[in-house]
Amino acid sequence: MKFSGVKVSLGGLALFLMAVACQKEEKEVTLAPLVLAPASAIPGHYIVLLKSDITKDHPFPEPSSGHRPTQRDAQARQNHFKPLAGAVLAACGISAERVTEYYTEVFPGFSIQLTPSELERLRRHPMVDMLEQDMEVSLPETRREPDEPHLRAQTVPCGISNAGGPADGSESTKWCWIVDSGIDLDHPDLNVITDPTYAKSFAGGTPDDCNGHGTHCAGIVAAMDNTIGVVGVSAGAPVVPVRVLDCNASGRTSKIIKGLDHVALYDEPGDVVNYSITAYWGNNCGSNSSYVAAMTALSNSGTRVAIAAGNYTDQASLYTPACINAANLHTVASMSCGKFWSSFSNYGAPPIDWIATGSSVYSTYLNGGYATLSGTSMATPHVTGIMHSLQSSPNQNGTVDFNGTSYKIASR
């Protein structure tokens, strides 16, 4: 996730970029591909992926130590990259003031507001690899069952048992990044990393959860082995909130990619990412996209990612990022406690790699509480916890058959 090469003066590169005409004769122009949002496009807003060569002649400075607390400084790397992106925009007569996010880790690029004519000029620049419409995003429907009248003594939910039982993750130095609606920062049953360098919100406010979805996922991954509530698959493991959704579980692609870029800045091999936000119909993996680029970069870095298959009773191959296949990416379908297929789950193997319990899952929730939810969002963190505890891909413990296809049950 680092772009490097021979160092020359930034001024020389800027002059070269400024000299490149965004408006060549039509016969000389190859337009960069434009990925259209399948639904909920935000008018005039785009994500721009630049070619990796953009940093070849002006590489990012590397930290003196790989130890996590002294890893790359986000602002310094962004400030280093801004003039490179700005030179591309200036060559096309576009103000850099309209950039809303810069991406330095999962790919070099930015999100920006453009007029139609500016969009066409930018597509002509040879340093532009791809453009994509930004879009509104919301969680797939997740069923919540009525709250219980009082706190239970600690139980081991059936999903944890189906995953091979809890393991002690409390001493691990590897982190579980929860890219979601945040985490209840002071939940008594969770070991939350609250250092503001790492715990971030890209959806306004703080990384404290005001929806509940992210906290529920975090508990499945890593609720503590104590006397209250529940226990997670990798019990007591450090969980890091990366909030990309608001209190209504809504967001936008550009902010989600910024959250993944943040993870890529500070992750290290052995970390795991829980991504229970999928899926978005129509923008499948037949073409490149910001999700494909970002998830593949995380995979290549050695960080394992669990991705929800989606709750649409449909082919997972039609949904991004569930459709992505890479060595460290694991798409997860849902089954019941009794190891029967969940009626809401997306299907198809590939891209689905594993199945885990997602029906009627009891876990941590808002305000130090607990709740029972259903969805592939709940199946996915079981796989996240398994990968954290094993420091490898899951083991298989049986299969669940659906429509003539066998799906591997993920287990420690």
Among candidate residues 172, 201, 359, 377, the one labeled active-site is 377
Q: Does residue 209 carry a catalytic annotation?
A: no
Radius of gyration of the chain (CA): 22
Q: Which of 85, 100, 298 is nearest to 202 (CA)?
A: 100
| Residue from 125, 213, 382, 388 carrying the catalytic annotation | 213
DSSP lists the bridge partners of residue 409 as: 355
Q: At what angle do helices 253-266 and 74-91 cross, to 10 degrees?
A: 130
Q: Which two tokens stand for residue 239?
A: 């969980």
Q: Which SS3 state, helix, strand or coil, does residue 130 take? A: strand
Would you call 83 helix, strand, or coil by DSSP?
helix
Helices (H), 267-344: 290-301
Spot the catalytic one: 180, 189, 246, 261. Answer: 180
Measured CA to CA, the distance from residue 316 to residue 337 in angstroms comes to 22
Q: How many CB atoms lie within 10 A of CB 33?
A: 15
Q: CA nearest 114: which of 14, 54, 26, 34?
A: 34
3-class secondary structure, 190: coil
List, in order, residues 6 or more apart from 258 with CB less than 8 Å away: 101, 103, 111, 202, 244
Beta carbons within 8 Å of 27's beta carbon, 6+ residues apart: none
95 counts as catalytic: no
187 catalytically annotated:
no
DSSP β-bridge partners for residue 308: 332
3-state secondary structure of 7: coil
The set of catalytic residues is 180, 213, 377
